Amino acid sequence: MSGPRSALRVAGLIVGGVGLVLGIAGFVVWRYVPGMVAAEHARLVALPSPDAIMLTDLPAGLEVLIEGRIAPDQRVVFRDFVAYLKEEEQRDKRERERTGNWKVVEKATPPLHLIVGDDGSVRVLNADYSLHFAKTQWRDDGQIIDTNYTGLVAREPVFVRGRAATGGLEAITVGSGTRASYLAQVAGNAAVGWWLGIGFMSVATLLIVVALVLFVTAARKARQPASWPPEPGAAR
């Protein structure tokens, strides 16, 4: 019976170890992530939101958070998109089955012309910003691999987090919506972090309980008397 007992102990150690790691990770996420998100949200709220004229008076490098809309004359780069991310669904290499995981395989983030306020003009100068919370999507059904485009279109309301620069703005993040909607999205991440931590700790608790059951079962088997006569083939 040493074989089954050893197997139960090993299984208990593995399950308990995984549970312990998940529990520690869950506690860290639950304890610290909401506070980090709240601090970042407060920092973003405090960023200035200048109009087109005020932006020209700011020192270069100062971080700002503005809102506006993409100008009607902004050049289209693909279909209706003026900026986009192209994603492909990853398939299992052996079975070619869907995994539900999407990977960005192409990115187009050209300089942008924004209308800020009633008729103020602001230029996004760089072409290496991140796209977040873009609302316009298009699925390319003509491809063998599932392909999805997400991006921005002309006249769309957008927010831009970036740094003041000579002649415009060096964007860090551009996305669909307003300054308020962006801040709300960031604030909502605190709740996501809290629940994620709770979820990790809940799974960890379940795994530790399973590990304890395995250890108890192994201990009970150790106290059981050896059967007699021995099973055929067993050493006497």
Q: What is the pLDDT of residue 212?
A: 87
How far out from the chain centre does Cα 214 lie? 36
Rounding to the nearest 10 degrees, give the CA dihedral for residues 92, 96, 97, 102. 60
Using pLDDT thresholds of 50, 70 and 90, give the confidence band for residue 98.
Answer: low
Omega before 111 cis (within 30°)? no
Task: Please indicate whether residue 213 or residue 69 has the higher confidence score (pLDDT).
Answer: 69
CA angle (190, 86, 168) in 5-degree steps: 70
Maximum Cα interatomic distance, the chain, rounded to a whole number of Å: 96
Q: What is the pLDDT of residue 193?
A: 79
pLDDT at 83 over 90: yes
Q: Could you report the per-residue pLDDT of 187-227, keeping only the tens digit for each?
A: 888 877 788 888 888 898 898 888 888 888 877 877 766 55
52-179 CATH, one of 2.60.40, 2.40.50, 1.10.10, 2.60.120 = 2.40.50
**Mean pLDDT across 79-87:** 94
**Mean pLDDT across 133-138:** 92
- Residue 52: what residue type? A
Q: Where along the chain do its domains lie?
A: 52-179
Task: Please indicate whether residue 218 or residue 88 has the higher confidence score (pLDDT).
Answer: 88
Rounding to the nearest 10 degrees, give the CA dihedral for residues 140, 143, 144, 150. -40
- Residue 101: what residue type? N
Q: What is the pLDDT of residue 2?
A: 57
Task: Please indicate whether residue 157 or residue 22 has the higher confidence score (pLDDT).
Answer: 157
pLDDT at 8 over 80: no
Q: What is the 3-state secondary structure (H, E, C) of 50-68?
A: CCHHHHHHCCCCCEEEEEE
pLDDT at 100 over 80: no
Q: Which two tokens stand for residue 55?
A: 């932006």
| Residues in contact with 97: Cβ distance below 8 Å, sequence separation at least 6, in sequence order | 91
Window from 3-17, 50-64, 206-220 with minimum mean pLDDT: 3-17
Q: How many residues does the chain have?
A: 236
Task: Please indicate whether residue 199 or residue 7 has the higher confidence score (pLDDT).
Answer: 199
Closest alpha carbon to 147 in 85, 76, 81, 78: 85
